[in-house]
Amino acid sequence: MSCEVLALTEELINRQSVTPEDAGCQQLMAEYLAPLGFDIESMVFDDTTNMWARKGASGPVFCFAGHTDVVPSGPAEKWTFPPFTATQHEGQLYGRGAADMKGSLAAMLVATKAFVTKHPEHTGSIAFLITSDEEGPFINGTTRVIDTLEARNEKMTWCLVGEPSSTTLIGDVVKNGRRGSLTGDITVKGVQGHVAYPHLAKNPIHLSAPAFAELVQTHWDNGNASFPPTSFQVSNINSGTGAGNVIPGDLSACFNFRFSTEVTDKQLIERVTSILDKYDFDYHIGWTFNGQPFLTDSGKLVEATQGAIKDVTGRETELSTAGGTSDGRFIAPTGAQVIELGPVNATIHKIDENVNIKDLAELAKIYEGILQRLLA
């Protein structure tokens, strides 16, 4: 198992699948799954390649979900080893996507083969939902596949997303939910003028600064046992002409909410609008809704995952909803129980991304253990 997981991870890393390119990764996965009895369905939407693979026609349905795309490597010369050439060094495997999340994909494949070989007549179905746009705009990937599956009433019972959830040791943290995400893009209109004649201009920076200060200081909610309080962060502010003696004519800014189940996106929009309107300036705001919060706080999937981790590693796992968003936000609304479990996330999206080679084999054993507990 160890050698096979490593070899598959290396082969996937060597394919330069920067969003939304798949670079043949899904074809490799399909060729691995087809002999195991999986029906392979390729779903291509615009620039994005997706794969839905399923073995079995009855429920319950266990689905491995993940993505073949990776973020850009950045300057290749800053890497110790070439980012798209998988390299083993001192027990680690280096390469873009090693941890996020080609190692998980390889572990899923090997775990599935091991399980199906031992249990060819297993109960229910095993499925794979794989996309090439998770790191990108998430328009034509998992969300489109879910729309297709929903239209034909094809449901998942349990879904394991292979995102790198572990913090220090494999399996020490499992994500059993995620916060919601809402982005606002605002343009504030002023009047450009000379700094020596401010009465003839309207400075959009000055006009909007008190409103931004109030937004930053606002307490949105208290969170709850599963989620921290809602967070508001300004991520970009742009204004000015580049000259020190010109009052700018407009300002643009971007901010984001990561919100708990204690508040809705509609309530956040209403509260932001109310604050902005208090300060009587001309603005336009556009909203991008990135996903609702979701939570799988208990159930067979959580129990099977905790038990499999304990069996393989001997350690207890922590359930957490911290971190960014994942494609789990598109799957959970269908009614599926969703968790995220993958490698240590210390180097994801970084120069010299890497994964512990022994962790890959342990991850495959954990995945197999979850299948064993749910479908054997």
Catalytic residue among 21, 22, 69, 353: 69
Please tell me which residue in 4, 10, 134, 250 is annotated as part of the active site: 134
The closest alpha carbon to 328, from 145, 140, 176, belongs to 176
Annotated binding site for Zn(2+): 67, 100, 135, 163, 349
Does residue 20 have a cis peptide bond before it, meaning omega lies within 30 degrees of 0? yes
| 356 contact partners, CB below 8 Å, separation of at least 6 | 91, 92, 93, 170, 343, 344
134 catalytic per annotation: yes
Distance from C-alpha of 267 to C-alpha of 19, rounded to nearest angstrom: 33
In degrees and rounded to multiples of 5, residue 13 shows phi and psi of -60, -35
225 class by beta-carbon count within 10 Å (0-12 exposed, 13-18 middle, 19+ buried)? exposed
| CB < 8 Å & 24+ apart, contacts of 1-4 | 1/110, 1/114, 1/361, 1/364, 1/365, 2/357, 2/358, 2/360, 2/361, 4/110
311 belongs to the catalytic site: no
Q: Are 14 and 91 in contact (CB under 8 A)?
A: no
- Alpha-carbon distance of 1 to 107, in angstroms, equals 9
**Separation between Cα atoms, residue 201 and residue 211, nearest integer Å:** 19
Number of H helices, E strands in the chain: 9, 19
Residue 308: strand pairing partners: none
Provide the annotated binding site.
Answer: 67, 100, 135, 163, 349
What is the rounded CA–CA span in Å between residue 190 and residue 241?
Answer: 13
Dig out the tokens for 233 from the structure. 């962060």
| Residues with catalytic roles | 69, 134
